[in-house]
Amino acid sequence: MRPTISEPLIQVKGVSLTVGKRQILHNVNVALMSGQIISIIGPNGAGKTSLLKVIIGLVQPTQGKVRHARALRIGYMPQKLHVEPTFPLTVKRFLQLGQPKVDLGPILQEVGIAAVLESPLQAISGGELQRVLLARALLRQPELLVLDEPAQGVDLMGQGELYDLIAGIRDRHHCTILLVSHDLNVVMAQTDMVICLNQHVCCSGHPDKVSRDPAFAALFGSIAQNLAFYTHRHDHHHDVHGDVIDE
C-alpha cells in the first residue's frame, strides 16, 4: 500500500544518534512527502550524511524511530566511491554488478554517460563519476532517490545542469528525491523543501520561508545575507564533463 498524497513517504520521529561520546543527531523530526525534492543543508559536521544513512537504514539511531512506506524502493548515491587503481572495472561492469542482464540503454541516455560506458571507472572525470553513481541508483527504479552531495566536484554551470537533470528525473520517474548539498544558491532555487540541520533541525520548509528564518541567517551568516537564487537557463548545453559545448 502506497502513502496517499497527505501521508509521509518517510516519517522520522525523535531520532538521536550518538557515536562514542559524540552526539551526531539530537531529536530530529522530519516528514518526507511523496513527489518532492528535499534538500538537507548545514555546516560541516552537522550530521547531514549521518541523517541520510539513518533514514535509509544503513545506521540505526540511538533513540527514535524511522517509519517507511511499505515495500519502499530506495536508490542511494553515496558521497564518494573508492576503487583501487589496479582493479579492472569498466563503467559498464560497475553498472551491471548484481544485475548482469539489466538494460542500460535508457538510463545511459538519461544521465548522459553512454560515451564512457567502456572506460575504466578510475579513468573518468569527477563529473562523469557522479553521473555513473546516479545511473546506478536509478537502476533500482526507486520511489525514493537519496543523493549525498550529488554535485561534488562539478563546476557551477555543471551544477545547474545536474540539478536540472535531477528535477527531470523526479518528473519522469515520479519519485521523491532526498539530497544533501552545500550548493546553497542552486539548492534554494531547485528544491521543494529545505531541512536546515545542525545536529538538530534548525528550520525547515519551502526555500522562501527558510531563507527568511533567523535560524538560517544565524547558521550561514554573511552567506545567507548575500544569497542569490540561481536559475539555470537552457541557452546552451554541457558535455558529460560539465563543460559548455560550443554550438
Per-residue pLDDT tens over the stretch 119-148: 999 888 888 888 999 999 999 899 999 999
What are the phi and psi torsion angles at 178 (to 5°)?
A: -115, 125
Whether 231 has a pLDDT exceeding 90, the answer reads no
CA distance 161 to 237: 8
Q: Which of 10-24, 79-93, 142-156, 157-171 has the highest mean pLDDT?
A: 10-24
pLDDT of amino acid 224: 64
The domain spans of the chain are 1-73+143-237, 80-141
pLDDT in tens, 38-91: 999 999 899 999 999 999 999 999 999 999 999 999 999 988 788 787 788 999
Question: What is the CATH code for 1-73+143-237?
Answer: 3.40.50.300
pLDDT exceeds cutoff 80 at 240: no
Say if residues 37 and 190 touch (Cβ distance below 8 Å). yes
The tens digit of pLDDT for each residue in 179-221 reads 998 878 777 878 899 999 999 999 999 998 998 899 988 888 7
Q: Which residue has the higher pLDDT, 4 or 72?
A: 72
* Residues contacting 6, CB < 8 A, separation 6+: none
pLDDT of residue 184: 82
pLDDT greater at residue 168 or residue 225: 168
Full strand arrangement of the beta sheet holding 200-205:
74-77, 144-148, 176-180, 37-41, 193-198, 200-205
